[in-house]
Amino acid sequence: MTDWSRVARAVYRVRQHYRYTYSGPVWDMKQRLVMIPRDQEGDQQVLQHDLAIRGMEDGADVTWSPDQFGNRAASLSAADGPDRTGFEAAGRRDPDRPVRRRPARARRTRV
């Protein structure tokens, strides 16, 4: 077990993966993905983030905008696609910021 009172820095890598499987090829696909947090929350700062789209690499349009909480929301649209699609988001917390000594309070959000 980690003795957090002795930790000066920590690096967090977060990955989320969603996979959708349909009964056949899809058309007029529209997705809104809220998988990347805001730039700063308490002592945590996002340094880097990526979104990978699997199954529609050549035909998806992605636009980014903030949601009502400041998170990054990706709006994805495609005229057609295969019978399965996957989305994977990855990010990294700033390792040079001091570690908060107690867990952050959970925020309740409606989706």
Q: Is residue 6 part of a domain?
A: no
Q: Say if 3 falls within a structural domain.
A: no
Of the candidates 46, 49, 44, 56, the residue with the CA atom closest to the CA atom of residue 19: 56
pTM of the predicted protein model: 0.67
Per the prediction, the chain carries an average pLDDT of 79
Number of domains in the chain: 1
Residue 23 located in a structural domain: yes
For residue 75, being part of any structural domain is answered with yes
99 domain-assigned = no
Range of the domain at 63: 11-83
> 21-53 pLDDT, tens per residue?
999 988 888 989 998 888 887 777 888 888 888
Is 97 part of any domain? no
Closest alpha carbon to 18 in 62, 65, 51:
51
With the CA atoms of 38, 40, 46 and 50 taken in that order, what torsion angle do they form, in degrees rounded to the nearest 10? 10
